Amino acid sequence: MRAAKWKDVWRRLSGRGAYPHELAPLLLFPLRRIVLSPDKLIPSLHLVPTASVLEVGPGPGFFSTHVAKAIPEGRLELVDLQWEMLQKARRRLQKCGVPNAGYTQATAVRLPFQSQTFDVAFLVAVLGEVPDPAASMSSIASVLRAEGLLVVAELPGDPDALTEEQLRGFAQGTDLEFVKSERVSRSVITSFRRRPKGSERSQKSRTVRKRSRRS
């Protein structure tokens, strides 16, 4: 790789924004399992065999293969800003014999799916890289089914990692309600659930009343 290209990769790696696809092999390093392995993540997703799952920012598919295999009658949709990263994930999943996965190039704040498409959505060390995390959480909430689960995993040492307090703040004003935050291996996993249909209107009413009181 030319010096100018490496300089650009380093700029993207050291700054905010998407992880450079040129460094994707580092995301498959086996020692990453010490921080958070797929086997440790999957129980937090509460999957059933027929689940429809959204993974935002899958990288080259470190978690994707295991999640797809955990839903043999369902489907995993991978969404990434970088087409090159999606291609790397596609090759990995196909090599592992995973047929139930889709690949969509999109931003985390403009998801091109219909309302109530997914049972579960998850992000691992991704949300802090998004320019507008609150808008991303709102976008994900809109494509979750009622009582669908959003799982956000943050890894130690990640300069873009978000705290539970920040995540709960970003969820305010959306249809998401906080479930729990727990330490899994060396990571922190925070879960939200989309409110049942009957409670969405009441939540919006509470938000309006709060704004009225402030004004």
pLDDT digits (tens, 9 = 90+) for 12-46: 444 455 776 677 777 777 878 899 999 999 999 99
Q: How many CA atoms lie within 13 A of 44 on its CB side?
A: 28
Domains in the chain, number: 1
User: Is 3 domain-assigned?
Assistant: no
User: Is 116 domain-assigned?
Assistant: yes
The set of long-range contacts for 86-94, using a CB threshold of 8 Å and a minimum separation of 24, is 86/58, 88/21, 88/24, 88/59, 88/60, 88/61, 89/58, 89/59, 89/60, 89/61, 89/64, 92/28, 92/60, 92/61, 92/64, 92/65, 93/61, 93/64, 93/65, 93/68
User: Is 55 domain-assigned?
Assistant: yes
Sheet holding 52-56, edge to edge: 101-105, 75-80, 52-56, 118-124, 144-154, 187-194, 176-184
pLDDT digits (tens, 9 = 90+) for 158-178: 889 999 999 999 999 999 999
Percent of the chain with pLDDT over 70: 82
β-strand pairing of 187-194 with 144-154: antiparallel
- Residue that has been written with the tokens 């309600």 in this structure: 177
In contact, 122 and 144? CB cutoff 8 Å: no
Task: Look up the CATH number of the domain holding residue 103.
Answer: 3.40.50.150
pLDDT in the model for residue 17: 57
User: Is 8 domain-assigned?
Assistant: no
pLDDT in the model for residue 30: 81
Mean pLDDT by groups of 10 residues along the chain of 215 residues: 46 54 75 91 98 96 97 98 94 96 96 97 95 96 97 92 97 96 96 83 47 45
pLDDT in the model for residue 210: 45
User: Is 98 domain-assigned?
Assistant: yes
User: Is 82 domain-assigned?
Assistant: yes
Q: Is 3 exposed, middle or buried (0-12, 13-18, 19+ CB in 10 A)?
A: exposed
Domain holding 163, by residue range, is 28-214
- Residue that has been written with the tokens 């009658």 in this structure: 73
Contacts of 181 (CB under 8 A, 6+ apart): 164, 167, 188, 189, 190, 191
Q: What's the pTM? A: 0.83
What is the rounded distance in angstroms from the CA atom of residue 59 to the CA atom of residue 135?
21
